[in-house]
Amino acid sequence: MPIDPFPYGPFPTTREWYDDDPRDATTLDRLTHLVLVDGRLVDTWSEPVDGTRWQSHADRFDRELRRPEPTPPPPAPYVQALDWLSEVCGGPQAVATLSSDALTDDAIDLPTEYATPGERTRTEAVAELLDAVAARSFDPETSYAFRHALLALQRLDPDTLSRARSAAQVAGGICWAVGKANGLLAPTGPVRVGGIRDALGCSATLSTSGEIVRAGLVGFRRRSDRSHLLPRGLPDLLPLGRVDVLLGSTRERLVRVRDRAEEARTAA
């Protein structure tokens, strides 16, 4: 004969227990207890799970069922372009006042006073190497951009100069950073990185020291890798946050981007 699962008589249902409770039954019934004696079900009841040792499980189940927040739409292309320009030039004010004027040899003299004799020696050695590389592989305007980067590095982060293994390592990093900031290096530009490295006698890759130089120039300002979010039509440039390392040809391209972005913002 079949086994009676309730040999001791019927038990009240959860609904009968909580008919007078103003709370919703779905809240009350989340935790259900089953009592077995010799493998036979003899009792069952439900209660709220809140405050019990099983609440963590209920919370986890809730998280699994909760739909993720929808991804917000990306900013408008003109917003992305202006944000990128701000990162390249060093802020909205620098973008607003940006002109296409070429760099000149104004304000590129080396300092006359240094904190230590070693700092003077290192700075002068780096400057000499940069001038030689510019004369061999670039042009006079690029040498001015190199010098501006060196002076900014010496002023803002002199440890980058002093801690480098050699003057050639610093010079290679400046060439890489400024070259990438202006789109001069292959594959986007005409100058091979290997040629610069050979001219300086550097054994390490220039990108390693170049990222150190970039960090010294950018400092604690925002740095991001958002190339996959940028609208099409922007030049592939390394943001250094400084206008004084940008060539006139680079500035001209950036001015066009700024003007088109401003037109789009006005029309939005």
What is the reported pLDDT for 223?
A: 62
- As beta bridge partners, residue 254 has none
What is the reported pLDDT for 86?
A: 96
What is the reported pLDDT for 204?
A: 86
The reply to whether 106 and 225 lie within a common domain is yes
The reply to whether 123 and 251 lie within a common domain is yes
Mean pLDDT by 10 residues, the chain (268 residues): 50 45 57 92 92 91 86 91 96 97 96 95 98 97 98 96 96 98 96 96 93 95 63 91 98 98 96
In a domain, 6, yes or no: no
* Residue the block writes with tokens 């405050």: 51
Domain that holds residue 104: 77-267
What is the reported pLDDT for 25?
A: 46
Tell me the two tokens of residue 74.
């990306």
Give 127's contacts (C-beta < 8 A, 6+ positions apart).
110, 147, 150
The reply to whether 47 and 177 lie within a common domain is no
The reply to whether 58 and 107 lie within a common domain is no
Q: Tell me how far apart the alpha carbons of residues 247 and 101 are, in angstroms, rounded to a whole number.
A: 8
Tell me the two tokens of residue 147.
């010098």
Q: Tell me how far apart the alpha carbons of residues 169 and 128 are, in angstroms, rounded to a whole number.
A: 13
What is the reported pLDDT for 3?
A: 52
Q: Tell me how far apart the alpha carbons of residues 216 and 74 are, in angstroms, rounded to a whole number.
A: 30
Q: Could you give the number of structural domains in the chain?
A: 2
For the chain, give the secondary structure using H, E and C.
Answer: CCCCCCCCCCCCCHHHHCCCCCCCHHHHCCEEEEEEECCEEEEEEEECCCCCCCHHHHHHHHHHHCCCCCCCCCCCHHHHHHHHHHHHHCCHHHHHCCCCCCCCCCCCCCCCCCCCHHHHHHHHHHHHHHHHHHHHHCCHHHHHHHHHHHHHHHHHCHHHHHCCCCHHHHHHHHHHHHHHHCCCECCCCCECHHHHHHHHCCCCCHHHHHHHHHHHHHCCCCCCCCHHHCCCCCCCCCCCCCCCCCCHHHHHHHHHHHHHHHHHHHHC
The reply to whether 41 and 85 lie within a common domain is no
The reply to whether 173 and 243 lie within a common domain is yes
Q: Tell me how far apart the alpha carbons of residues 192 and 137 are, in angstroms, rounded to a whole number.
A: 9
The reply to whether 58 and 90 lie within a common domain is no
Q: Tell me how far apart the alpha carbons of residues 172 and 160 are, in angstroms, rounded to a whole number.
A: 13
The reply to whether 81 and 125 lie within a common domain is yes
The reply to whether 221 and 150 lie within a common domain is yes
In a domain, 7, yes or no: no
